[in-house]
């Protein structure tokens, strides 16, 4: 409905109803853009968090693979010892060999440990001396320990099966903003088979 001015019939104005409809339509369009923007931002944050978790877990598994490639043992003396406890941590011990600074082959024992208090997976490069040097923290935000069911091995096949999982905020449940990543892999230990 158009309103015309009495002194100038060619001039026209908007009625109050048309003005209200225009404001409502512009508000709906603005709300739609804001919703799309917030949804997109939330998805980007979740994808970034998931990618960081995947990178962290991939680093842990690569570290374990390289260590286990140097494991020393055979079918009667398996290179991985039973799980043990280091303080409050669950530990996986590995008999390994490496070259020292003089080039001599040195047999040593290393360990990976999971601390459930601060959700860390740690590496002890010298398991015989747990305080010197201090353990290297391989990853934070880990939610799976190194206990039974998450680490299994067979001295007949020479494979170690490892499950590692992480959550962006391990203390809270999984949600769209708190993604969780779980990885399962097999690691071949060359020295364990004949």
pLDDT in tens, 95-123: 776 666 676 666 777 888 888 888 998 88
In a domain, 19, yes or no: no
Identify the helix (H) or strand (E) that includes residue 184: strand 180-188
Query: Alpha-carbon distance 76 to 22, whole Å?
Result: 83
pLDDT value for 85: 64
In a domain, 30, yes or no: no
Number of domains in the chain: 1
Identify the helix (H) or strand (E) that includes residue 96: strand 89-99
In a domain, 160, yes or no: yes
HSE (side-chain half, CA atoms, 13 Å) at 66: 8
pLDDT value for 129: 58
In a domain, 185, yes or no: yes
pLDDT value for 190: 73
User: In the chain, which stretches have pLDDT less than 70?
Assistant: 1-13, 74-78, 81-88, 97-101, 103-106, 128-133, 148, 155, 191-194
In a domain, 29, yes or no: no
In a domain, 59, yes or no: yes
Give the CA distances from residue 6 to residues 1, 12, 15, 19, in Å, rounded to whole numbers and listed in that order: 16, 10, 15, 21
Domain boundaries, position 91: 47-192
pLDDT value for 82: 59
pLDDT value for 57: 92
3-state percent breakdown (helix, strand, coil) of the chain, nearest 5: 30, 35, 35
In a domain, 141, yes or no: yes
Query: Alpha-carbon distance 111 to 185, whole Å?
Result: 19
According to DSSP, the residues that pair with 166 across neighbouring strands are 142, 181
In a domain, 7, yes or no: no
């Amino acid at each position: 409905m158009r309103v015309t001015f009495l002194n100038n019939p060619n001039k026209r104005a908007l009625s109050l109803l048309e003005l209200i409809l225009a404001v409502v339509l512009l508000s709906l369009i603005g709300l739609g853009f804001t919703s799309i923007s917030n949804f997109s931002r939330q998805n980007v944050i979740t994808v970034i968090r998931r990618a960081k978790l995947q990178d962290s877990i991939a680093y842990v598994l690569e570290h374990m693979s390289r260590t286990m490639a140097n494991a020393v043992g055979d079918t009667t003396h398996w290179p991985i010892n039973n799980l043990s406890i280091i303080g409050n941590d669950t530990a996986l011990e590995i008999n390994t060999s490496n070259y020292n600074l003089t080039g001599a082959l040195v047999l040593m024992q290393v360990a990976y440990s999971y601390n459930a208090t601060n959700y860390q997976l740690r590496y002890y490069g010298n398991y015989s001396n747990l305080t010197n040097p201090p353990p290297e923290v391989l990853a934070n935000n880990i939610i799976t320990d190194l206990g039974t069911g998450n680490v299994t091995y067979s001295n007949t096949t020479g494979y170690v099966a490892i499950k590692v999982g992480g959550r962006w905020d391990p203390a809270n449940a999984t949600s769209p903003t708190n993604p969780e990543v779980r990885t399962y892999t097999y690691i071949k230990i060359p020295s364990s088979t004949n």
